[in-house]
Amino acid sequence: MLQLRDSNGPATVIRRADYSAPAFWIDSVHLSFDLDPAKTRVLNKMTLRRNPDVPVQPLRLDGETLNLARVLVNGQGASFKLESGKLVLENLPLEGAFALEIFTTCEPLKNTSLSGLYVSNDSFFTQCEAEGFRRITYFLDRPDVMASYTVTLRADKQKYPVLLSNGNLVASGALEGTGNEGRHFATWVDPHKKPCYLFALVAGQLVCREQRIASRAGKAHLLQVYVRPGDMDKTEHAMNSLIHSVIWDEARFGLPLDLERFMIVATSDFNMGAMENKGLNIFNTKYVLANQSTATDADFSNIESVVGHEYFHNWTGNRITCRDWFQLSLKEGLTVFRDQEFSMDLCLEASARAVKRIEDVRVLRTAQFPEDAGPMAHPVRPDSYIEINNFYTVTIYEKGAEVVRMMQTLVGSLNDPTGRAGFAKGMTLYFARHDGSAVTCDDFAQAIADANPDSALSRLLPRFKRWYSQAGTPRLHAKGSYDAAAQTYTLHLNQTCAATPGQEAKEPFVIPVSLGLVSRSGADLPLQLRDGSASTSASHLLVVTQAEESITFINVAEEPVPSILRGFSAPVLLDFDYSDAQLMTLLAFDPDPFNRWEAGQRLALRCATALIAGEAILTGARPLNDDYVEAMRAVLRHPALDAAFKELVLTLPSETYIAEQLDVVDPQRIHAVREAMRAQLASALATDWQWAFEAHADNGAYRPDSLSAGRRALAGLALTQLCLAAQSSGDPSTGSGQAGVWPGKAYQRFKDADNMTDRLHALSALVNSGHELAKPALAQFHSLFKNEELVLDKWFALQAGSCDRGGQVLPAVRQLLKHPDFNLRNPNRARSVIFSYCSANPGAFHRLDAAGYVFWSERVLELDSINPQVAARLARALDRWSKLAEPYRSSARQAIERVADKANLSNDVREVVSRALAD
Ligand SMILES: [Zn+2]
């Protein structure tokens, strides 16, 4: 048989169906490191035994980029083979435990992939999830092999005064003997068994903030946040977030901290957000460091949620882990759900909870829905992959969290309408059954259902689990009919789901639909069903299980406006043929804040798509109708709504979201229409924006709480709109009438701001309105913060993501790559320029001359030779190429082909581009 080959050899497809238990278990691991950036020596002494449930076979250990020096079995030299990277040992003892000793070296300084052991700012860090441990030593690098670890680190004391690994420090001190002058050691023992992807070490010049806390049971714990000297003043918020996380997990789920010592270490070179290594979390500095002058409200809130997320993994992920990487959502979907709940529970006001929910859904719909409709679409529990790093996706994380949220909803009952109590019971059963083991998504769902035997989830479990096996976003089509004589209202629902790669036909999903009926005057109507049951709350939970279903409400005194999918009760697309007047009613009155916001989004989308589809010339277009503008004015001036919610309602749907609603995408036309909508809102509501800015600009001493953050967000949007109005009202320097003063005021606010949120809003208002004051403001910003890496990332990102006016952004981006502060090897910096342009600025990226795509292909190839994981993320920027209108479509395809044609592509990038081309 002839096999298709590229220069890498055939890429291996890994399939879930091929899972088999490991042939050996590793009981204990003793690792000793002699840390040296150029050549680190690693001695790995393991105790292994055969798995009696698996036929006798050789031991095959994973390894990558290692130099092997010695292998001993029970202290004796042993014969071994190296087969396609694996270390293969035959003739091992058939019975009982045996000792295996492997001595290797690796080169941390040369490791630019940031997977395995690497050097950042003269310190050592590790990243082992998913398959980085095999770059440290030969091992059974799979999550279902859990072992006890003892780790000794040896290094130069002056260069690396701090030596950390998982667990507890049991010994440390100076090393004796010749050749050891100035060197010291530390030995750590982890009391918990763990898979190797949770191993970590850190060595370097670090300082730490410490806090001792006591658990409910009175046990003492030491919490530590390690950072580089000079960053101590930015650690208070991370520490507070950690303390809140510990308290919350014990209060909500009865899960206490199981470690004497819990450490967080920040590094500026990191591929992902953060990593939950047992007891030694390693974080991207972006999710640790914050104070009011360097971090925005969004940064503060992200830090709280990421610190929470990694901490919650200590139980969901670490105590119970994944059997194999296809089960990634077992830990990630669940832990995202937990961090979302944590952030919501920390909100004091109900309105702030609703705002958080809207923000989460916005992420899901702008990032996950396109993924689910594109070439990389995959189920929450995938069936196959080539490179597991490509499956750390919004589907596994965010859609996975929605699946868990639906489970909570579906275990609700009359006494527990939200399902919170039932879900907590399910979690308790999950830990009772599986603590200390490596399990599957099925095991998790079964535990939640079994703990709630009378629930809808328990009844529907096999069908519910289609959410794990079927990719694609279901579409729910709803139609309403009101019978005035009979006073009944019937809602007809049918569901479909488009084909996705490898899945042509789909079975119906179980879809929990929370719905209410809103009267003309805006009140929730009482809900009574034909069978005599009445909902005790204003919303009814309809669990759709069939392709087609209907539900009839009786004693409905007037024709209602249905409010469907309240709180976004399921991750689906909803079609309902609302009239404008019905949407206006929901926007003005819906007691469900999510659907109230959604009504405004639907109205805006309707104006946008009508104009995009037409032939009209867009210069000076006024896409928004008067009713919409008046409704926005009413929201902005509303006396009872809070500022954060207003800001969300008054923010138009993004270009990416608009594009997803269309069959054929002309990115320039979408950009032009959305800009026209922004300009129209800016000028039509000018006096209201002015009021909004003045009423919300001053917030006293800075605090990153949700209430004042909402006020700053609204003031920021108002300032942006005012600068835009000044710009479109004529001469940018003088403007006409009152409008012309706003760029000057924005510049003043930029200079005077006592916090990063207000300062960045003001700078962004100037940059995005194209005002000439943007230039001096950018220069001042740079000189103020030239020593703050994370702030410089904002400076780069703001420029690369700025509004395009006649194609000036791409040349500016090319210039930024030559800036002395640009560094392609640092993922945060690469993302701040390249991703901000290619993935987050569609109006500037999709150019008629295809220069944006050329830039993209150059950067993907350049990054691939440095860091394949980051390159593969960037490669996804053209996932949706096949929806583009010509000439964008053909030139995008050519750019993808240019990447695919390159010899020696990483598996990461090859998988992404070949799937894109198959679309
Ligand atoms: Zn996670």
Tens digit of pLDDT for each residue in 766-786? 999 999 999 999 999 999 999
Cα dihedral 519, 710, 630, 624, rounded to 10, equals -110
- The amino acid sitting at 745 is K
Q: How far is CA 799 from CA 6, 306, 792, 809, 832, in A?
A: 39, 26, 11, 8, 9
Cα of 62 to ligand 1 centre, how many Å?
A: 24
Instruction: Give the tokens for residue 619.
Output: 């210069």
Interhelix angle 667-684/686-696, rounded to 10 degrees, is 80
Instruction: Give the tokens for residue 166.
Output: 């998982």
Q: How many residues does the chain have?
A: 919
- The amino acid sitting at 497 is C
Cα of 339 to ligand 1 centre, how many Å?
A: 10
Cα of 541 to ligand 1 centre, how many Å?
A: 30
Rounded Cα–Cα distance for residues 220 and 671 (Å): 56
Q: Which residues does 787 contact at the CB level (< 8 Å), separation at least 6?
A: none
Q: Are 335 and 318 in contact (CB under 8 A)?
A: no
Cα of 308 to ligand 1 centre, how many Å?
A: 10
pLDDT attached to residue 729: 75
Residues of the chain with pLDDT under 70: 1-10, 536, 730-737
Rounded Cα–Cα distance for residues 288 and 235 (Å): 7
Cα of 465 to ligand 1 centre, how many Å?
A: 21
Helix (H) or strand (E) holding 321: strand 321-322
Instruction: Give the tokens for residue 231.
Output: 């960053």
Rounded Cα–Cα distance for residues 568 and 272 (Å): 28
pLDDT attached to residue 734: 43
Q: Are 602 and 579 in contact (CB under 8 A)?
A: no
pLDDT attached to residue 11: 77
pLDDT attached to residue 10: 61
Question: What does DSSP assign to residue 230?
Answer: T
Q: Are 324 and 144 in contact (CB under 8 A)?
A: yes
Cα of 309 to ligand 1 centre, how many Å?
A: 6
Q: What phi and psi values does residue 12 have, to the nearest 5 degrees? A: -85, 130
Cα of 241 to ligand 1 centre, how many Å?
A: 16
Q: Are 523 and 463 in contact (CB under 8 A)?
A: no
What is the β-pairing status of strands 59-61 and 86-89? antiparallel
Cα of 276 to ligand 1 centre, how many Å?
A: 7
DSSP 602-616: HHHHHHHHHHHHS--
- Where do the DSSP E strands lie in 694-832? none
Q: What phi and psi values does residue 478 have, to the nearest 5 degrees? A: -120, 145
Cα of 230 to ligand 1 centre, how many Å?
A: 28
Catalytic residue (one of 64, 129, 276, 310): 310
Cα of 271 to ligand 1 centre, how many Å?
A: 13
What pTM was computed for the model? 0.97
Cα of 829 to ligand 1 centre, how many Å?
A: 22
Question: What does DSSP assign to residue 391?
Answer: G
Rounded Cα–Cα distance for residues 196 and 199 (Å): 5
- The amino acid sitting at 196 is C
DSSP 485-511: TTTEEEEEEEEE---BTTB-S-PPP-E
Cα of 815 to ligand 1 centre, how many Å?
A: 36
Q: Are 291 and 303 in contact (CB under 8 A)?
A: no
Instruction: Kindly calculate the radius of gyration of the chain based on its CA atoms and give it in whole angstroms.
Output: 28
Cα of 125 to ligand 1 centre, how many Å?
A: 18
Q: How many CA atoms lie within 13 A of 590 on its CB side?
A: 28
Cα of 770 to ligand 1 centre, how many Å?
A: 39
Q: Which residues does 502 contact at the CB level (< 8 Å), separation at least 6?
A: 383
- Cis amide bond preceding 417, omega within 30: no
What is the β-pairing status of strands 24-34 and 146-156? parallel
Nearest partner of 575 among 654, 490, 496, judged by Cα: 496
pLDDT attached to residue 534: 73
How crowded is residue 555: how many other Cβ atoms within 10 Å of its Cβ? 13
Q: Are 480 and 489 in contact (CB under 8 A)?
A: yes
Cα of 586 to ligand 1 centre, how many Å?
A: 36
Long-range CB pairs of 735-740 (<8 Å, 24+ gap) are 738/686, 738/690, 739/683, 739/686
Rounded Cα–Cα distance for residues 914 and 501 (Å): 12
- The amino acid sitting at 88 is V
- 210 has catalytic annotation: no
- The amino acid sitting at 197 is Y
Cα of 129 to ligand 1 centre, how many Å?
A: 10
Rounded Cα–Cα distance for residues 756 and 334 (Å): 33
Burial of 55 (0-12, 13-18, 19+ CB in 10 A): exposed
At 85 the three-state DSSP class reads coil
Cα of 38 to ligand 1 centre, how many Å?
A: 31
Helix (H) or strand (E) holding 89: strand 86-89
pLDDT attached to residue 158: 98
Q: What phi and psi values does residue 638 have, to the nearest 5 degrees? A: -60, 130
- Tell me how far apart the terminal alpha carbons of the chain are, to the nearest angstrom: 27
pLDDT attached to residue 165: 98
CA angle 428, 434, 437 (to 5 degrees): 145
Q: Are 310 and 275 in contact (CB under 8 A)?
A: yes
Rounded Cα–Cα distance for residues 635 and 631 (Å): 6
pLDDT attached to residue 695: 98
pLDDT in tens, 470-499: 999 999 999 999 999 999 999 999 999 999
Rounded Cα–Cα distance for residues 138 and 43 (Å): 10
pLDDT attached to residue 371: 98
Question: What does DSSP assign to residue 365?
Answer: I
pLDDT attached to residue 840: 97
